[in-house]
Structure 1
Amino acid sequence: MSARVPREPRKLPPGRHGIPADEVAGDQRGRILAAVVSCVGESGYAKATVEDFIGRAGVSRKTFYQHFANREAAFLAAYDEVAERVTSAAQKAYSAQDDLVASARAALECTLRELAADPDAAVLGIVEVFAAGPKALERRSEILGRLTDLMTEQTKDLPESAPGPNFTAEVVVGAVLEVLYNRVRRGEARQLPELLPDLLYCAIAPFVGHDRAAEERTAQLHQSARS
């Protein structure tokens, strides 16, 4: 995704405005997706309706169905936008570093910051994806796979842990997401950056050992206290 789902959808001027049809369609789609994020973030997927989406987006029912076949399709499109934004930012931060510790620190910091900046998107992408059916869960599995492969690539030259780097990376990614799920579900999305020192320790300890991981946690705690 190249841009954040707009949080305050703008409305095109009424009547004949001379704006190209593809720009109008893009604006409508963006407003609907922003409405999906906010409605699902506030009420949950089970309670959010197409009527909620079109009311929040300021579009007609006809316009909604020109873009999406149903409520599930709109949710999946919004999930794809949110997941791609957060995952791509994390991958970029991770790959910009030279070693596992720096990579994990950068990716975690980026992810926590992105989610904290948009709590509704955090709810949709971390919590409500479980309520949206098998297609949504397939998309979530794809994201986990991307993150696991990324961490495995960075750990391939480290001394191999007993279960192997791929399995260990899978466990780490799954555990981090479970922690995020619990915090977001409790309404603590904006406090997620505070978890960085502890999450960093847990993410790197299986690969670099307790001593190095503890040093990094302490350094991160000191940095957080100064900022």
Structure 2
Amino acid sequence: MTRRTAARSSRRYRGRSTDQLRAERRQRLMETALAHIGEAGYASLTIEKLCSAAKVSTRHFYEHFRSREALLAALFDQFSEEAARVIGERLAGDTEDPVERALDAVSAFVRFALEEPARARLAFIEIVGVSPDMEARRREAIGRFTALIAQAGEHLASRGALPQQHYHLAAVALVGATNELLVEWLDGRTGLSAAGMERAIIDLFRTLILGARVRSGAPG
């Protein structure tokens, strides 16, 4: 860092440093973009409209994001990282029953997704079809969640709670089903509250686990 850069970073404006102001501007841009996408969709978001609502200049926008799509990617990455953290924490929890621990992780993910509908709409609806790069990013995130579900299934199998088999395809099916159920809820076609949707998804997972146990003769 040069002396001039260090001096700029140490300047204070109304008690805040330059770095703090930059971080605040970035956060305002992301929060304002998310609110707009949740209400009106990504396609209608322009950089000018966003900067006006966030009270940020377009020059400052380009200090943080090279394009509108880069901002969308940052929001999606934030969702994916936080969701993975929520799932990981629950899978590593101290619930003795491994099935209940797995179901608790699914429940925590659904609750996280639906507690802020704008965030869920961005992750499950608005990101679809934006560009090949964004689709690759979306598929990569789906792959990570699929791997988590498959690992949970294999862990349950190692504990005798499920039959011994590879769980990749089952995980793909469950992630896809969960995605579509959340889209149905976001579009208002289920008639369920967020808590009701969470119960419906958990019931689906529980039923599939029970069916696998019955088929294999594993203890229930």
Structure number with bigger Rg: 2
Aligned pair partner of 2:122 in 117, 121, 124: 124
Name the SS for the 1:46 alignment partner: helix
Q: Does the 8 A contact of 1:119 with 1:190 survive in 2?
A: no
User: Are 1:160 and 2:164 matched, yes or no?
Assistant: yes
SS at match of 1:200: helix
1:45 to 42, 45, 67: 42
Render the CA deviation track for 1:56-115: whole Å, top value 9, x for unaligned.
211011111111111111111111112222232122123324555213321232122222
Answering whether residue 87 of structure 2 is matched by residue 80 of structure 1, we say no
Q: Does 1:136 align with 2:134?
A: yes
- Residues 192/100 of structure 1: CA separation in 2 closer, same or farther (3 Å cut): farther
Note the residue ranges of structure 2 that are not aligned, 5 or more in a row. 1-11, 215-220
Contact kept in structure 2, 1:90 and 1:111, CA below 8 Å? yes
* Structure 2 counterpart of 1:200, one-letter code: I
Question: Which of 185, 188, 198 lines up with 2:187 in the alignment?
Answer: 185
Which has the larger displacement, 44-53 or 94-103? 94-103
Q: Quote the offset at 1:21 in angstroms.
A: 1.8
1:36–1:53 Cα contact (<8 Å) kept: yes
Provide the aligned C-alpha RMSD in A.
Answer: 2.5
Task: Give the count of matched residue pairs.
Answer: 196
CA contact (8 A) 1:94 1:104 kept: yes
Q: Is 1:205 aligned to 2:202, yes or no?
A: no
Identity %: 26
The residue aligned with 1:28 is 25
Q: Give the letter for the 2:143 counterpart.
A: G
Does the Cα contact within 8 Å between 2:115 and 2:194 map onto a contact in 1? no
Q: How far did residue 55 of structure 1 move?
A: 1.8
Q: Distance in 1 between matches of 2:191 and 2:14?
A: 40
Relative contact order, higher structure (CA 8 A, sep 6+): 1
Other-structure match for 1:57? 54
Unaligned runs of 5+ in 1: 1-14, 213-227
Looking at structure 2, the residues matched to 42 and 173 of structure 1 have their Cα atoms a distance apart, in angstroms, of 25
2:196 counterpart residue number: 194
Task: Tell me what 1:149 maps to.
Answer: 147
State whether structure 2 residue 91 is matched by structure 1 residue 94.
yes
Q: Is the 8 A contact 1:99 1:154 kept in 2?
A: no
